[in-house]
Structure 1
């Protein structure tokens, strides 16, 4: 047997120290910290850039418009177009107090009936809704159509009426307006959000 080395009674030998920096010793934490810092910097730069840029104005609904070649609004009996519909107001019937017979409806003021022809000038079926139309009096007040009353009216054809391309329907849009109201224009739309076309009800072809 080889002789055993004598025991050493001094302090234990020091382990070599890891002289690498903290970032080198914690690589995963370093990567996560770098990614987080980069995201924060990008967010700050993005917010600063957004303050300098000018945001586009919100979309607004187009104003109702329609004029003839002579520069005036079309009148009763003249076609006016909006979107894929061509409207022709054919007759005005003011001062109606009741529509629909015994099971019909009384007007709060007076029913003002606007007879019109609606033609689909597009290439696919579209739905005409009397509720999209607005009646305007001499004071500039706008009245919505009374679609509930129109249901009682035979042949009104103004409630969600589907029209195929090239076809036309004769409809009646009903408005319940005060007895002293003096309607002078009607604003016609092929849909709820269309720009609209205006017809002068004081002029006749």
Structure 2
């Protein structure tokens, strides 16, 4: 069979003298080994809870409870001290004494030796006039302690028959004790001073007893005035 170079091959046929073309197969993209496994979604871990706010809160609560306990303790102690002082000033804890016989409270030993009422003024013309009447109580005070102590009339009082309490008149006491230069001053250990405690009472009222203290912190002694 002769070959005519000018003859065209029929449609669908390969040109003469050329090898048949094998259609290429579709290829899948290259997947490296280890990456062919199906991917699973990574599970997110919940955020760690912070512990420090609870620690701070616990410290705060403990501190608050401690403060409350301390405040209660201090308040209770303060209330007790105040109650004791009030009882002392009212003579609820006072020891009983009698006139002209020594009795001790704290570092002072007291002896009540006399009383005079119905005095209108003390200190003369330049002195002090009573609102009602002055009652003057004669007292001797001995320091039985080991250090110097000052006696004042601030913690001293008298009571009438009805239980009314009358405080000492400090201004009138200054005038009434002009002749007792050592009274209401510092008393050394072993020394004794004498003086007059002055009380301004309603006219006609007579003191039934006197309450004497070394200080507001002592229980005091109560002596009937007869």
Q: Report the TM-score, using the length of structure 1 for normalisation.
A: 0.72
Residue ranges of structure 1 left out of the alignment (5+ in a row): 1-16, 25-29, 68-73
Larger radius of gyration: 2
Does the 8 Å CA contact 2:137/2:198 hold for their aligned counterparts?
yes
Q: Deviations over 1:143-168 (max 9, x none)?
A: 00001111122135687421111111
- Work out whether 1:169 is the aligned partner of 2:189: no
Name which of 191, 197, 203 aligns with 2:221. 197
Distance 2:117 2:68 in 1: 61
Report what 2:52 is aligned to. 32
1:58 aligns with 2:80: yes
More displaced 10-residue stretch of structure 1: 149-158 or 174-183: 149-158
Asked if structure 2 preserves the Cα contact closer than 8 Å seen for 1:121 and 1:165, the reply is yes
Structure 1 residue runs of 4 or more that deviate by more than 6 Å after TM superposition: 44-50
State the shift of 1:132 in Å.
1.2
Structure 2: segments with no counterpart, 5+ residues: 1-41
- Provide, for residues 78-109 of structure 1, a one-character-per-residue CA deviation record: whole Å limited to 9, x for no partner: 11211111000112111111110111111111
Rate the CA distance shift 1:118–1:44 in 2: closer, same or farther, 3 A: closer
The structure with the greater share of residues assigned to strand is: 1
Aligned residue pair count = 172
**1:1-205 pair list within 5 angstroms:** 21-23=46-48, 30=50, 32-40=52-60, 42=62, 58-59=80-81, 60-61=83-84, 62=88, 63-67=92-96, 74-153=97-176, 154-156=178-180, 160-202=184-226
